Amino acid sequence: MSQAIFFAHANGFPSATYGKLFAALEPAGYRVLHLEQHGHDPRFPVSDNWEALVAELIHHLEQQGAPVWGVGHSLGGVLHYRAAMRRPELYRGVVMLDSPLLPLTSRLVIRTAKRFGFIDRITPAGRTLGRREAFRDPDEARAYFASKTLFRHFDPDCLEDYVRHALRPTEEGLRLRFDPATEIGIYRSVPHTSPGRPRQFKVPLAVVRGANSRVVRAQDLRLARRIPRSQCLTVPGGHMFPLERPQDTAELLKGLFARWEEA
């Protein structure tokens, strides 16, 4: 019988972008579930501290009928962590792929940045403002994204999936499918509150950071080590390593789940 993984994507990257990762998991008997785009359901509009995004995730997990492996990249990992803190019975375990745990020091900086209006300087919101969102055709879009640092090391199939699934056709050509205002709103509402004490986390947790990423920092790893049944791993690549090395990421996930099942 297949085991269910519920995958949650990074901000701005629709789940279909990760198709190569999902395809690599399916032959091992894993069924990958996901939302097409977090934050786009009018029932769960983006709110401060990502409260509505966590509620949206829990809403869909409740409909699965059995606990799942929660896997999330960046934003998605934080959502799973906070959802599992609130509703551990919905999970078999959680894997955070280059997702920050947001310890107290980070939350204090975020709270201050929100209060004094410089949150765009400490999150990617500032870089997202005014970003190009329209393209004449797939070739133009592909060339544009391939020239950007964030996409530079993407697996070619993952870049192709992004061009195919992150853009929607319009009368003028192609436009980003992920609403830019929603993407910016998610960055600006990054949590400054705690979801609970580390020792209250009741399911296995793996924090996996990219060796070249600066998103998961030493203080995140220190917090992770205070969580029962947690482990911290470092893999080659940057913040986008699940889309740079999808096959390796799938092998990592399969190994984690197998060890947790045996424990």
123-157 pLDDT per residue, tens: 998 877 778 899 999 999 999 999 999 999 999 99
- The pLDDT of 110-127, averaged and rounded, is 93
Helix 75-86 vs helix 51-61: crossing angle, to nearest 10: 70
Per-residue pLDDT of 6-58, as tens digits, reads: 999 999 999 999 999 999 999 999 999 999 999 999 999 999 999 999 999 99
Quote the pLDDT of residue 251: 98
**Interatomic CA distance for residues 237 and 21, integer angstroms:** 15
211, 235 contact by CB (below 8 A): yes
178 has pLDDT over 90: yes
> What percentage of residues in the chain have a pLDDT greater than 90?
94
263 has pLDDT over 90: no
Cα–Cα nearest to 206, from 235, 225, 230, 222: 230
97 has pLDDT over 90: yes
pLDDT tier for residue 184 given thresholds of 50, 70 and 90: very high
- What residue ranges define each of the domains in the chain, with the CATH number in brackets? 3-262 (3.40.50.1820)
Q: What residue spans of 87-177 are helical by DSSP H?
A: 104-116, 119-122, 125-128, 138-146, 156-165
Q: Give the sheet arrangement for strand 134-135, strand by strand.
A: 134-135, 174-176, 167-169
Block residue for tokens 């705690």: 194
Tokens of 158: 């993952």
Quote the pLDDT of residue 93: 98
Give the pTM: 0.97
For 222, half-sphere exposure in the C-beta direction (CA atoms, 13 angstrom radius) is 7
190 has pLDDT over 70: yes
71, 7 contact by CB (below 8 A): yes
Per-residue pLDDT of 224-233, as tens digits, reads: 999 999 999 9
2 has pLDDT over 80: no
68, 61 contact by CB (below 8 A): yes
pLDDT tier for residue 1 given thresholds of 50, 70 and 90: low
Phi, psi of 96 (to 5 degrees): -105, 115
Quote the pLDDT of residue 148: 93
